[in-house]
Amino acid sequence: MISGKTKLIAHLGYPTESFRAPMIYNPYFEKHDIDAVVVPMGCKAEDYAEFLRLVFRLSNIHGALITMPHKVTTMGLLDDAMTTARVAGSCNAIRMDPDGRLIGDMFDGEGFVRGALRKGAVLEGAKVLVVGAGGVGSAIAASLAAAGVRELSVFDNNAQTMNGLADRLRTHYPELIVNAGSKDPDGHDVVVNATPLGMNAGDPLPMDVDRIAPATFVGEVVMKQEITPFLAAVREKGCRFQVGTDMLFEQIPAYLEFFGFRTTTPEELRDVARIAY
């Protein structure tokens, strides 16, 4: 039941048809009698800056989940941001502090790292390639740097986006070896597709699978289907891999902690989730 005391968490993005988070959070809240609800709110880019401030003027707002296309734009609308969000240059969670200031953080990368470690990937000292330097790719790169990887290569078709991420990584992690400009996966311990490639039928693969070694750990961010063409190809090679929704389930405990709710495990979230495609 939604009552006058229910805490609202706005799920802001556009379009909303692909949103999966409400089908995970809300059953979890229901199970544990947490009087909160995640509400999808479709907001176009041109309306977002004004709408975000209005949302946080609601007396019963508790926080906001931010998704495409607003993760990067949000950074310029915050009063303060956590280090991971600063390195990523994007934000996917906002809360208001007691002084009314908007505080942002980024958990896409935290979810990826937690999932990879749970599956046995070795990140400390690893050589990693992240293809795609947008909101999610930048977040994954930021969290991989925090996890202690030795060398991090980033690639994006947008040179400005790619080089901006590389510069932020070098600034915040001066001991990290940072490369930019190549998406050749050869010689990497971990490779990640952080592009939208795989969302639509006929998309090219994000990198040359023939150059990926069977011992490489592979990550995917596309959630439209569990096994994307990219994952199907690396599975044929015998690679261990992480599907897109793994990142989502792994990051939600971190979100819950950020919003001050009781935390949980990915296993419980999978058990209560009511995801429909």
Q: How many CB atoms lie within 10 A of CB 99?
A: 6
Longest Cα–Cα distance of the chain, Å, equals 57
Q: What are phi and psi of 221, to 5 degrees?
A: -110, -20
Assess whether 5 carries a catalytic annotation.
no
Alpha-carbon gap, residue 37 to 30, rounded angstroms: 9
- Please identify which of the residues 71, 119, 127, 224 carries the catalytic annotation: 71
Alpha-carbon gap, residue 20 to 194, rounded angstroms: 18
DSSP sequence for 204-273: PPSS-GGGS-TT-EEEE---SSSS-HHHHHHHHHT-EEE-HHHHHHHHHHHHHHHHT-----HHHHHHH-
Q: How many CB atoms lie within 10 A of CB 97?
A: 10
Which residue in the block uniquely carries the two structure tokens 């599975």?
235
Q: What are phi and psi of 98, to 5 degrees?
A: -60, -20
Whether the bond between 27 and the residue before it is cis, its omega within 30 degrees of 0, is no
Q: What are phi and psi of 170, to 5 degrees?
A: -65, -35
DSSP sequence for 147-182: TT-SEEEEE-SSHHHHHHHHHHHHHH-TTSEEEES-
Alpha-carbon gap, residue 121 to 127, rounded angstroms: 12
Residues belonging to the active site = 71
